[in-house]
Amino acid sequence: MPLHDDLRAIALAEFASSGYAATSLQRIADLAGTSKASVLYHFASKELLLADIVSPALDDMERLIETLEHAGGLRRADFVEQFVDLLLRHSEVVPLVINQGATLDDVPVMHRATEIMRRVAELFRLASGSTMEKLRFGVAFGGVAYTLAAAERLGLSGEIPIDEVRSALLLILHDLLVPAESTAR
What string of DSSP letters covers 113-148?
HHHHHHHHHHHHHHH--SHHHHHHHHHHHHHHHHHH
For the CA atoms of the chain, what is the radius of gyration?
Answer: 18
Same domain, 153 and 84: yes
The CB-side HSE value for 132 (13 A sphere, CA atoms) comes to 2
Same domain, 39 and 63: no
Domain membership of residue 39 as a residue range = 1-44
Model pLDDT, residue 147:
82
Our count of domains for the chain comes to: 2
pLDDT tens digits for range 89-104? 998 898 888 888 888 9
Assess contact for 64 and 141: CB atoms under 8 A: no
Q: Is 7 inside any structural domain?
A: yes
If one counts every other C-beta atom within 10 angstroms of the C-beta of residue 106, the result is 8
Q: What is the pTM of this model?
A: 0.83
Give the max Cα distance, the chain. Answer: 58
**Helix axis angle, 76-89 relative to 131-149, nearest 10°?**
20
Q: Is 161 inside any structural domain?
A: yes
Kindly report which listed range (15-19, 24-28, 73-77, 107-111) carries the lowest average pLDDT score. 73-77
10/182: higher pLDDT: 10
